[in-house]
Amino acid sequence: MGHSNQPEIKAVLFDWDMTLGAALGSVSTGERTSTLFRRLGMNYDIEAIVAAMAQRRQAIEQGATPGPLAPQTKEMLIRYYQQLLQLLDGAEVSPQLCEQIYDEYARLPFVFYSDTLPAFQALAARAIRLGIITNHSPQIRPLIEEKLQEFVRPEHILISGELDLYKPDPAIFIEAAARLEMSVEQCLYVGDNLEVDAIGAVIGGGYASGLWCDRSDQPAPEKFPPAVYRITELGQVLNWVDGDREETLSTD
């Protein structure tokens, strides 16, 4: 049942990595990073990588190492790999090598979550326009186009590395709406990062709603900004499109 006080959603845009699926599927971050490094000839035990990640996190939290904990831009990600490899090797690593790692991540085999294609099929059946906004290397484009060719037009895939615009910059959300020929008030954004995706789309981009797709078992914040909500699987996006948001909130 629809609700007249809710904006009508005509376009849904998604984050890519860890929202629609994951590189190498359901593996640990340590295993994923170990595989990525091995593809470039760097062999480290998963345990050593996990320890380096924990050491980096602690150093950032203590102010001894510049952050952020979850880098978003190309420059931040290159620095992240430099920090990690320096902890593993004890020596400074060139930015050029880390840029290769940044690009190689996009070439890892990608596995959709089980709820992804059913959600896209259901949205397409409702004539909802679909798009992607991802903070990723340009190298990811062929994979996204191949995986989503049935649902998303190439011009509706916005990749930060191509535009030099990174979420949560409002400009990338506004540009995505324009490419879909929609006003921002007609758009919904779904992503796995509360601040960068859900809040960024609403507070910065002006979207009707931002959905934080939280697949973890961690406690959720008690309060969210207006028009920002938590879901646990992609099928719940349909409740916002169909105007049945209260049903989702009552059962979440």
Indicate whether this model's pTM tops 0.85: yes
What DSSP letter does each residue of 99-165 carry, written as one string? HHHHHHHTTS-EEE-TTHHHHHHHHHHTT-EEEEEE---GGGHHHHHHHTTTT--GGGEEEHHHHT-
Tokens found for residue 42: 């760097």
Specify whether the CB–CB gap between 9 and 187 falls below 8 A: yes
> pLDDT digit string (tens) for 193-234?
999 999 999 999 999 999 999 998 778 888 999 999 999 999
- State yes or no: pLDDT of 108 exceeds 80: yes
Residues with Cβ within 8 Å of 107's Cβ and at least 6 positions away in sequence, in order, are 39, 139, 143
Mean pLDDT score across all residues of the chain: 93
Higher pLDDT, 250 or 123: 123
Domain over 11-22+111-251 is classified CATH 3.90.1150.10: no
d(CA 16, CA 134): 6
Model confidence at 252, in pLDDT bands (50, 70, 90)? very low
Q: What percent of the chain has pLDDT over 90?
A: 86
Q: How far is CA 46 from the centre of its chain?
A: 24
Q: Which residues pair with 231 in a beta bridge?
A: 213
Mean pLDDT of 15-23: 97
What is the structure's pLDDT at 12? 98
> pLDDT digit string (tens) for 159-200?
999 999 999 999 999 999 999 999 999 999 999 999 999 999
d(CA 133, CA 17): 10
Q: Is 210 helix (H, G, I), strand (E, B) or coil?
A: strand
Q: What percent of the chain has pLDDT over 70?
A: 94
Specify whether the CB–CB gap between 157 and 131 falls below 8 A: yes
Q: Where are the domains positioned within the chain? A: 11-22+111-251, 29-105
